[in-house]
Amino acid sequence: MKSIKLSRRTVLRGALGGVPIAIALPGLEAMFGSGRQAFGQTAPIRRLGLWFWGNGIKMAQWRPTTVGPDWTPAPGTAPLAAAGIKEYVNIVTGVDVKSGNLRGHHSALGALFSGSEILPQDHPDSNYRSTFKQASLDQQLAKELAPTTRFRSLELGVSNKVVSGEGTTLQYLSHNGPDSPNPPEYDAAKAFDRVFAGIATTPGGAPPVVDASLALRKSVLDAVKMDITRLQGRIGAADKQRLDQHLTNVQSIQQRIMQSMTTVTPPASCGTQTRPKAVGDTRAMENVVLRNQLMSDLLAVTLACDLTRIFSVQFSGSVGYTVFSQADPAITSGHHDLTHNEGGDQPQCQKTDIFTMQQLAYLLTKLKSTPDSDGKTLLDNVVILASTDVADGKSHSYTDYPIVVAGGGSGYLKNPGVHYKGAKENTSNVLLTVMRAAGSQIASVGLDKGLSSTPCTAIQTA
């Protein structure tokens, strides 16, 4: 077969109900040619992710029991020591938030994900109110690197039991600046449409509005079937295998979303038609496991197709009221209340900590199993900063903070990863290392007391 050359931006095109459909492709040999630019020899694509969970952890059962590269996990970090991903996990403890404790959950959230203290606001109708003083790390990097990917950044959410009355700090993770948040998408069907069915643009340049039910009634692969057949007739055997796997992943995600949906009858004025409605949740309990899996799978495909290089996942909310009954059926209280009201050593809180790390581990495992265009995996070429809004939920402590820095950072981060126990250093030191691992050239990160020009070299390769 005569070799062909495909653009890195090649997409499969079609239409669904009159709406343009475009499905991006992963890296294929036909996109890179031969020689130094051959597939598997391209320069790595660096990526940054933020992953947040609310209300702290119980450090005594979370902190690894040993330090260094052979760290021994405690029960809370055991999911991160799973086969295949432990070498990509750096655990940092013993560092403190230096930007000040203006208000409980608010302050450290801003410090951990932007390097700055929060901006207090008037709060006549709430106990407190604040917003980020400066952009969160993901948007700082997006501004510096100005990526030309389809999505400048992608914001996803898992549990939507978040606080909405105390300003943007508690409600959102990603911020462009004060009172300028980037809301996450919690609906897997809408996220699916945005990634797979909403890529093509209208003549005016704006993304089309795609009804999630429309895309899910008919396979998006059917909509681009002609393009699939045409492409399969032009590429080699290795690319066919990679394409088949990519399309299988897309179809699998779509089918799993459909399985989590039901049909409900709309008002009589709409006639007898029905529309899918995402369920799996009750008023008190969400299907956190399924939504996390779907969002993680969507994210892996999106990164593999280079549709974005910067993302954030708001797993659970600060002062959030997620009921983690999937961690233990005996848990019936919202998570924030649980962290304050459970007695003793808080065994139910400990179970939620383990459960949360299991969900983070799912994402890491998915990235580890997804090939990247340089012949490595997505996990090799991403750096993920994962942390929370207070060290301990009950005491609102800001010292001895739990931080996970996962991924290879395209060789910038230590592999195998280490457990580094600091001596009360600034948490912003870790942020500086994370930003540089993602390709930033900044000399410092943070503002005022949160300012740092000293990276956390303990988790760097050099």
Look up residue 329 and give its two tokens: 């059926």
Pick the CATH number of 45-189+283-459 from 1.20.1530, 3.40.720, 2.20.28, 1.10.3470: 3.40.720
Are the C-beta atoms of 419 and 89 separated by less than 8 Å? Answer: no
φ/ψ of 131, rounded to 5, equals -140, 165
60-69, 225-234, 414-423: range with lowest mean pLDDT: 225-234
Among the listed residues 167, 159, 196, 146, the one whose alpha carbon sits nearest the alpha carbon of residue 19: 196
Q: pLDDT digit string (tens) for 29-55?
A: 777 764 445 555 578 999 999 999 999
Tell whether the model's pLDDT for residue 389 goes beyond 90.
yes
Tell whether the model's pLDDT for residue 91 goes beyond 50.
yes
Can you give 383-438 as a three-state secondary structure string? EEEEECCCCCCCCCCCCCCCEEEECCHHHCECCCCCEEEEEEEEHHHHHHHHHHHC
Tell whether the model's pLDDT for residue 365 goes beyond 80.
yes
pLDDT band at 3 (very low <50, low <70, confident <90, very high): low
Considering the entire predicted model, what is its pTM?
0.88
Are the C-beta atoms of 304 and 316 separated by less than 8 Å? Answer: no
What pLDDT is recorded for position 227? 84
Mean pLDDT over each residue of the chain, to the nearest integer: 86
Among the listed residues 261, 287, 286, the one whose alpha carbon sits nearest the alpha carbon of residue 275: 261
| Distance of alpha carbon 156 from alpha carbon 327, whole angstroms | 22
Residue corresponding to tokens 């890296």: 27
Tell whether the model's pLDDT for residue 97 goes beyond 60.
yes
What are the sequence ranges of the domains in the chain? 45-189+283-459
Stretch 141-155: mean pLDDT, rounded?
94
Check residues 249 and 130 and name the one with the higher pLDDT.
Answer: 130
Start-end of H helices in 278-369: 288-304, 335-341, 347-368
